[in-house]
Amino acid sequence: MGTVRPAPWRRAAVVAALMLAAFTFNTTENLPVGLLALMADDLRVSPASVGALVTGYGLTVAVVSLPLAHATRALPRRYLLAGLLGLLAVASGVSALGGVPYGLLLAARVATAMAQALFWAVMGPVAVGLFPPERRGRIIGLLSVGGSLATVAGVPAGTWLGGHTGWRTPFALLGVLALVSLVTIGVLLPSSRPEDGHSAYGAVPDRRRFYVVLIVTTLSVTGFFAGFTYVVAFLDEVSGLGGGAVSGVLFAFGAAALAGVTVTGPLLDRFPRATLAVPVAVQAVALLGLYATGHVPAVSVVLIMLLGASVATIFMATQSRVLQVAPGRTETALAANSAAYNVGIAAGALLGGFLLPVVGVRGTFLVGGLLTAAAPAVLTWPVRTGGEAGAGDKGAAGGKGRAGMGRYRTDAGL
């Protein structure tokens, strides 16, 4: 039985609200990095303690994503999303209050991280479910643009605003943005059971392909953060770029990330394998290229931009791919991919920190490149045939996803 979809303007408004929410969550997660010194002075804690607000955030997302997705799988998405955005608004408001001690701020960050973990698991199926199945990838691309804007505009703007008006002001503004998303979704998103609609389950469910996606996510993210965690030191010590130039390079990195997801998003439905395999390969080339030629400033800037364009695209492509091959409910599968991503962040930073005294900052990019280079090999692992519909690289249509009578193929695995 077909699902009645809301009017086009309502669907567009809901997607826009979800993009705004993704922007708000991502900005909230990373804003303490830009406000580190201001927050440390005001709260009378060490910069490392403020840094823990970011590290603890990511670890919380990694730990709670799957349990929360499973525990809330029966709740109507309209009410669930409204509750998550309400929690984000309240936690942002707490962060913006004067005189809030570090412990309460840390608790607000943990609450926000739990909300974000569940938000990333459910927002994709909600948005995709409003449109025909063949537009899954395109919608995921739009949502990724919202998240990528946080790096390009959200964190820099919040850092500037905090420097001029106090670090609490941008958190208050983020709380207002969360309320805007909450009201829009609460009013315009239809109420329906989570299991209704095509987006609740994978289009071509395949457990093997799903595990491949998780491994690729973990390898690529671990490889990226093994080197990129120390990119400021790399640009200073290896590339010879000064402090002012470093800020410009990091902005170029964010702009390239936004460009990557914007260009690739419309291609996800037509080329589901290539839109994952190509950026993984580009990331490996960029990391290894920085190790080999990062001492040339112009080359290092180009490679940093390639790195930005690839890493954001990889996560978008894995999310889109999970929606296709999820062996069960998509929100649980997306939560697993989000957990893998955050595990990769922590593992990469820890690995890079362990190796830094041994191989130097340049060597961390070599290690990151080698880890990433293993991901394309994983993409060629044998999988059952019959899991894709259509010819060539088209795989977003329906289909059973389990066929082939035990036959296998290795055509880019995914």
For every residue of 87-147, DSSP letters joined together read HHHHHHHHHHSTT--HHHHHHHHHHHHHHHHHHHHHHHHHHHTTS-GGGHHHHHHHHHHHH
User: Is the pLDDT score of 393 beyond 50?
Assistant: no
Residues 398 and 204: beta-carbon distance below 8 Å: yes
Cβ contacts of residue 3 below 8 Å, gap of 6+?
129, 192, 196, 197, 198
Q: Is 329 helix (H, G, I), strand (E, B) or coil?
A: strand
Instruction: pLDDT band for 399, please (50, 70, 90 cuts).
Output: very low
Please state which of the ranges 93-97, 209-213, 385-389 shows the lowest mean pLDDT: 385-389
Which residue, among 198, 32, 56, has the nearest Cα to 116 in the 3D structure?
56
Distance CA 212, CA 221 (A): 14
Residue 391 has pLDDT above 90, yes or no: no
Q: Does domain 201-409 have CATH number 3.40.718.10?
A: no
pLDDT at 411 over 80: no
Q: Which range has highest mean pLDDT (158-162, 179-183, 335-339)? A: 179-183
pLDDT at residue 232 in the model? 82
pTM across the whole model: 0.83
Kindly report which listed range (138-147, 237-246, 308-317, 387-396) carries the lowest average pLDDT score. 387-396
User: Which residue, among 235, 243, 363, has the nearest Cα to 304 in the 3D structure?
Assistant: 235
- In single-letter form, the type of residue at position 128 comes to V
Mean pLDDT of 121-137: 88
Q: What is the per-residue pLDDT for 412?
A: 39
- Dihedral angle over CA of 370, 375, 381, 384, nearest 10: 180
Q: Band the pLDDT of 387: cuts 50, 70, 90.
A: very low
Give the residue range(s) of CATH 1.20.1250.20 domains in the chain: 8-199, 201-409
Phi (first) and psi of residue 360, to 5 degrees: 80, 170
- Residue 408, SS3 per DSSP: strand
Q: What's the pLDDT at 242?
A: 74
Question: Of all residues in the chain, what percent carry a pLDDT higher than 70?
Answer: 91
- Looking at per-residue pLDDT, the higher value among 196 and 121 belongs to 121
Residue pair 156/34 in contact (Cβ under 8 Å)? The answer is: yes
Q: What does the mean pLDDT of the chain come to? A: 86
Please report which confidence band the pLDDT of residue 383 belongs to, taking 50, 70 and 90 as the band edges: low
At 410 the three-state DSSP class reads coil
233 vs 394, more confident: 233
Contact 251, 374 (CB under 8 A): no
Alpha carbon distance 116, 181 (integer Å)? 14
- Name the CATH superfamily housing domain 8-199: MFS general substrate transporter like domains (1.20.1250.20)
How does pLDDT run across 61-116, given as a tens digit for each residue? 889 999 999 899 889 989 999 999 999 999 999 999 888 888 999 999 999 999 99
Q: For residues 308 and 286, what is the distance between their CA atoms, to the nearest angstrom?
A: 10
Number of other residues whose CB lies within 10 A of the CB of residue 405: 7
- pLDDT at residue 385 tops 70: no
**pLDDT computed for residue 243 by the predictor:** 66
Nearest 5 degrees, angle CA 278-CA 279-CA 280?
90
To which H or E segment does residue 45 belong?
A: none
